[in-house]
Amino acid sequence: MNPTMTNWKSPLILVLSSLLFILALSKERASYRPMRQSDFIRAHLVRMQNIQERESFALSRAFILGDKRSLTKDLKQKFSTLHINHLFTPSGIHFSSFFILFLPLLKRLRKKELKKTALAIELILCLLPFGLNQLYSLKRISILRISNLIFKKLNLKMNIFTIFVLSFLFDFIFGTYEQSPMSYAFSFLFLGSLLATPKLSSIALSFLSANLFITLFFPSTVSLIGFFLGFIFTSFFSITFPFLFLLYWTSSLTTLDLTYLFFNLYQFLVNSFYKLSILGPSVEIDLIGYSLLLIFTIVRRKRFLIFAIILSSNRVYNIPAERVSKNNLNREVRINNWKIKGQKEVGLNKEMSCRRIILTNGHRITCRKIKPKEDLLAQSS
């Protein structure tokens, strides 16, 4: 039997992720705690704020430091639609890109029979995230790399997926799970989906499955065009991040914005991709879709992924009757000139001004009376 036809790793990741998300959602959400910053970082941010444009500063602060406080709501919305807001949290992409900078040195040391020195440097690099506040996803990647180094040193032959399961089990019991259960669940889902993928050419579909899976637990949807454009952006970001990282810190030392071209290109791509993504459909799955998604991950037949999408019903049409507001049911307002304004539709007639938005739990329409000109003149006088 073809091994690609019976993949057990991907459905295992989805089933275990279901349990992790249920556990995480059942826990009381911890209050937000802003990251503590050293005097060095604060002084560095002041310098960068003086030399960078507003959006470039916000993006660089999020990409490099994992601090999202400067991001505007509009910028977050664009990244969310493209499903690339994971770039705001330092994780495997950032760590691997940073690690690439040291590969030439490590290879040279190994060629000169200085393997112990190379191992020590690699271990020090993996331990660096544990000196940082929060950034739990980065620490989990470090645990995975350290586990891989230990098993290699002990000459224990294990594939990377087995090492991933063991390292995350260790982290679940002794590590960062208690600090951030939801972050742990997301890391397990996406990193597990990547490592469980049988072929490199199927990685995009594995991540699409993971994003669809999330809609089962959260009031979110997946933009089909946005996802694939976001996947392209993530690939481009992974290639350019090592250079961005070096130029970012050099910019702080020289007080010259050497990252200008990078962030202008990032913003151009994000804005362009976002405009294209809103032209396509946004989808979600229900329990039927979840079942079909599991079948897809086992047999890797695309038709089951398509069925998971088209046979799932939108939660907007499954609202319990008691949740429907019964205010003003007998009143009818006719507005024919609806216009799209941002994420809302706006319309007005001679009497009313209304706004309409489709939420994940129903339609919300808010209206207000338009005051006659005579009343406005009387108030002004």
Closest CA to 184 of 134, 223, 239: 134
Asked if 205 and 348 sit in the same domain, the reply is no
Asked if 327 and 374 sit in the same domain, the reply is yes
More confident residue, 353 or 8: 8
For the segment 123-169, what is each residue's pLDDT rounded down to a tens digit? 888 888 777 777 788 888 888 888 888 888 888 888 889 999 999 99
Asked if 205 and 329 sit in the same domain, the reply is no
Asked if 183 and 60 sit in the same domain, the reply is yes
Closest CA to 119 of 130, 107, 128, 131: 107
Contacts of 220 by beta carbon, 8 Å cutoff, 6+ apart = 214, 284, 360
Amino acid 117: pLDDT: 87
Asked if 305 and 332 sit in the same domain, the reply is no
Last residue of a domain, one of 262, 291, 310: 310
In this predicted structure, the answer to whether residue 323 has a pLDDT above a threshold of 70 is no
Asked if 177 and 299 sit in the same domain, the reply is yes
Inter-helix orientation angle 302-310/287-299, to 10°: 170
Asked if 364 and 246 sit in the same domain, the reply is no
Looking at mean pLDDT, say which of 197-201, 315-319, 360-364, 377-381 comes out highest. 197-201
Residue range of the domain that includes 353: 318-380
The dihedral over CA atoms of 288, 289, 292, 293, expressed in degrees to the nearest 10, equals -140
Last residue of a domain, one of 310, 328, 354: 310
Amino acid 346: pLDDT: 65
Asked if 348 and 268 sit in the same domain, the reply is no
The band of 328, judged by pLDDT with boundaries at 50, 70 and 90, is low
Number of domains in the chain: 2
Amino acid 330: pLDDT: 47
User: What's the chain's average pLDDT?
Assistant: 82
In this predicted structure, the answer to whether residue 3 has a pLDDT above a threshold of 50 is no
Asked if 228 and 134 sit in the same domain, the reply is yes
Last residue of a domain, one of 260, 287, 310: 310
* Cβ proximity of 279 and 224 under 8 Å: no
Phi-psi region of 362 (alpha: psi -120 to 50; beta: other; left: phi over 0): left
More confident residue, 268 or 364: 268
For residues 185-196, average pLDDT? 92
Asked if 89 and 23 sit in the same domain, the reply is yes
In this predicted structure, the answer to whether residue 351 has a pLDDT above a threshold of 90 is no
For the segment 296-312, what is each residue's pLDDT rounded down to a tens digit? 999 989 999 999 999 88
CA pair distance 196, 319, nearest whole angstrom: 36
Asked if 262 and 348 sit in the same domain, the reply is no
DSSP H helical segments within the chain, as ranges?
A: 9-26, 39-51, 54-65, 73-81, 92-100, 103-111, 115-127, 136-153, 160-174, 181-196, 203-214, 224-254, 260-277, 287-299, 302-310, 373-380
More confident residue, 238 or 367: 238
Asked if 218 and 354 sit in the same domain, the reply is no
For the segment 23-36, what is each residue's pLDDT rounded down to a tens digit? 998 887 665 566 66
User: In the chain, what's the furthest Cα-to-Cα distance?
Assistant: 90
